[in-house]
Chains A and B, each alone.
Chain A
Amino acid sequence: MLSVKKDFPILNKELEGKGIVYLDSAATSQKPQQVIDSISDYYSSSNANVHRGIHTLSDIATELYEDSRKTVADFIGATVPQEIVFTKNATESLNRVAFEWGFENLVEGDEMIAIEADHHSNLVPWQVVSERTGAKLTVLPVTETGELDMVLFKKSLSEKVKFIAISHASNVLGTIFPVKEVCKLAKEVGAVVSVDGAQAVPHMQVNVQKLGCDFYSFSGHKMLGPMGIGVLWAKREILENMPPYEYGGGMIDEVKANTATYASVPERFEAGTPNVSGAVGLAEAIKYLEGIGMSEVEEHEKTLVTYALEKLSGIENLKILGPLDSSKRTGLVAFNIEGIHSHDLAAFLSEQGIAVRSGQHCTMPLHDSLGISSSVRASFYVYNSKEDIDYLVSSLKEAKELLS
């Protein structure tokens, strides 16, 4: 088991007289001192606007920004750093795929596939694309164990399918979806695949080239980085054929009074002053994770989720969502206790110093299909331990006593 909690200042503080047991990393992770320092250092010694000045500070800031892009590119196996577009979060990245690629390339008669376990940010943009272009959107249900129904998926594929939206890992079910296989099948019919990697990149080694996808999106803040920085990766040839999303400074080549030509990728997609400190913080987070080793991170979470599944299964009337086989999961478990509302459980746990998420986790179609109005989600990361899970389980038992 890892022991890195000491690096996370917030987890070593008290809140209302109690220690913090943080089990909400799927919403946002906590940040190690190294990441916090990198942001402070950037503003203390390197801050200037990038790509604009001749002066030394601007040069330093530009170098830091571009080095961060390279760190991200290497981390996810991009061919070149130019394939990395910095955004504000995964939601923006996913929306850009719809706005910059979907509107340009889809027409009536085309079909798109999404999965009901997709986060709203990987589903709603495609509802809009469908509405405006006339392309048909099919939303596939998941199996009873929360997995992708490959038979149904294959049946839905045809030459008409031009686009597939899929989560790499579900933020509710925890399921790791077979993205590589989906991409292979998509290629056979010529469909483009956009992967929501927000719940995968923080927790496992991801290589976009090996996956074979066309777009891959994730957020910095779920992987120990700061809020406000996200990544859109796309194959260079796809990016080069996409129009800009926003217009203004930094993204142009030449501007005349009535016309303009645009910069090459990725600058074309980064209009205005970018979030340099965010990129620097994200790069530091990646270095931190690489210092631990992504296979160790994965191993740590696997141990925790296996332990959590076993302990939670021991609570009567507690129903776990998603597969019970921990090898098919990332480090989170969503569940319900019969007869107790998820908000009441979360509020009770909060009084014990435990932070969990409750509600629908931006997946209303999935909750509808599961026949539940909401759920509680405990999500683990590098700083969590088996003791955290023991405390969660004993507190849940107390909550049951009190509330049922």
Chain B
Amino acid sequence: MNDSLYREQLLEIYKNPGNRGTLSDPSVDVTVRNRFCGDTLNLQLQITDGIITEASFNGESCMVTIASSDLVTEELKGKSLEDAAKISKGDVLEMLGVELTTSRVKCATLILEALEASLKELNE
């Protein structure tokens, strides 16, 4: 099952996502919803001097959302807000490294929606 979603690497992240949880005093805390399945995803960021120092996510979600959220939050740590805003859908799909069906691209990019909403909130 080479093209399978259920490759060992993703399964491992799914079963033990390192960045799943909550921060004690987040600078921003945003929850978004996937309207196809009703899943919610919470993203929390800790920001010091314009740099993301901590990032975590939470929510009851599918494997694709969990894996992409874990990979993206890891990527966010140490990034400036400006650089964080540059993470694209293509980047996320590349991080996952599997072919996704159209309906599940939405699951993969839910974390990006949360990130965009967070950055917007910070700007306001």
Could you tell me which A residues sit within 8 Å of B by CB distance? 341-344, 347-348, 350-351, 358-360, 364, 367, 373-374, 402-403
A282 to chain B, nearest CB (A): 28
B5 touches A341 (CB 8 A): no
Q: Evaluate whether A373 and B63 lie within 8 angstroms (CB atoms) in the complex, with A347-B104, A348-B6, A402-B11 already known.
A: no
CB of A359 within 8 A of CB of B37, answer yes
Q: Given A359-B37, A359-B38, A402-B11, answer yes or no on A344-B4 (Cβ-Cβ < 8 Å).
A: no
Q: Are B1 and A343 in contact (CB under 8 A)?
A: no
Interface status of B39 (Cβ within 8 A of chain A): yes
The 9 closest A-B pairs by CB, nearest first: A341-B62, A343-B62, A373-B38, A344-B63, A374-B37, A359-B37, A344-B62, A360-B38, A347-B5
CB–CB A403/B37 < 8 A = no
Those of B18-69 within 8 Å (CB) of chain A: 36-40, 60-64
Whole-angstrom distance between the Cβ of A373 and the nearest chain B Cβ: 5
| Residues of chain B lying within 8 A (CB to CB) of residue A341 | 37, 39, 60-63
Docked complex Cα distance between A351 and B6 (Å): 10
Give the interface SS of chain B, mostly helix, strand, loop or mixed. Answer: loop
Query: CA–CA, A373 to B36, complex, Å?
Result: 11
| Cβ-defined contact, A343 with B64, below 8 A | yes
CB-CB nearest in chain A for B103: A343
Q: Does B107 contact A (CB under 8 A)?
A: yes
- Asked whether B39 lies within 8 Å of A374 as measured between CB atoms, the reply is yes
Contacts A351-B4, A358-B37, A402-B6 given; does A373 touch B107 at CB 8 Å: no
Q: Is chain A's interface secondary structure helix, strand, loop, or mixed overall?
A: helix
B120 to chain A, nearest CB (A): 25
In whole Å, how far is B38's beta carbon from the nearest beta carbon of chain A?
5
Instruction: Choose one: A358, A360, A373, A402; the contact of B60 (CB below 8 Å).
Output: A373
Contacting pair B4 A342 (CB below 8 A): no
Give the Cβ gap from B91 to chain A, nearest Cβ, in Å: 22
Question: In the docked arrangement, what's the CA distance between A312 and B18, Å?
Answer: 34
Fill in one digit per residue for B61-83: 1 if any A CB lies within 8 Å of its CB, else 0: 11110000000000000000000
What are 26 A-B residue pairs whose CB atoms fall within 8 Å in the complex? A341-B39, A341-B60, A341-B61, A341-B62, A342-B62, A343-B37, A343-B63, A343-B64, A343-B104, A344-B62, A344-B63, A344-B64, A347-B5, A348-B5, A351-B1, A351-B5, A360-B37, A364-B38, A367-B38, A373-B39, A373-B40, A373-B60, A374-B38, A402-B6, A403-B6, A403-B14
Interface size class of B (residues with CB under 8 A): 10 to 19
A343 to B101, CA, bound (A): 12
Q: How far, in whole Å, are A342 and B53 apart by their CA atoms in the complex?
A: 34
A342–B40 alpha-carbon span in the complex (Å)? 14
**Assembly CA distance A74 to B60 (angstroms):** 49
Q: Which residues of B contact A403 (CB under 8 A)?
A: 6, 11, 14, 63
Enumerate chain B residues within 8 angstroms of A358, measured Cβ to Cβ: 37
| Residues of chain B within 8 A of A347, CB atoms compared | 5, 63-64, 101, 104
Q: Residues of B contacting A343 with CB < 8 Å?
A: 37, 62-64, 104, 107
- Of A344, A348, A358, chain B has the most CB atoms within 10 Å of the CB of A344
Question: Could you tell me the distance in whole angstroms from the C-beta of A403 to the nearest C-beta in chain B?
Answer: 7
- Please, which residue of chain A has its CB at the minimum distance from the CB of B61? A341
| A358 to B101 alpha-carbon distance, docked (Å) | 14
Partner of A359, one of B5, B6, B36, B61: B36
Contacts known (A343-B62, A343-B64, A344-B62); A373 close to B37, Cβ less than 8 A? yes
User: In this complex, what residue of B is CB-closest to A364?
Assistant: B38
Given contacts A348-B6, A351-B6, A373-B39, 15 further A-B contacts (CB under 8 A): A341-B60, A342-B37, A343-B37, A343-B64, A347-B63, A347-B101, A347-B104, A350-B101, A373-B37, A373-B38, A373-B60, A374-B38, A374-B39, A402-B6, A403-B6
Q: How far is the CA of A374 from the CA of B89 in the complex (A)?
A: 25
Residues in A with CB closer than 8 Å to B60 are: 341, 373
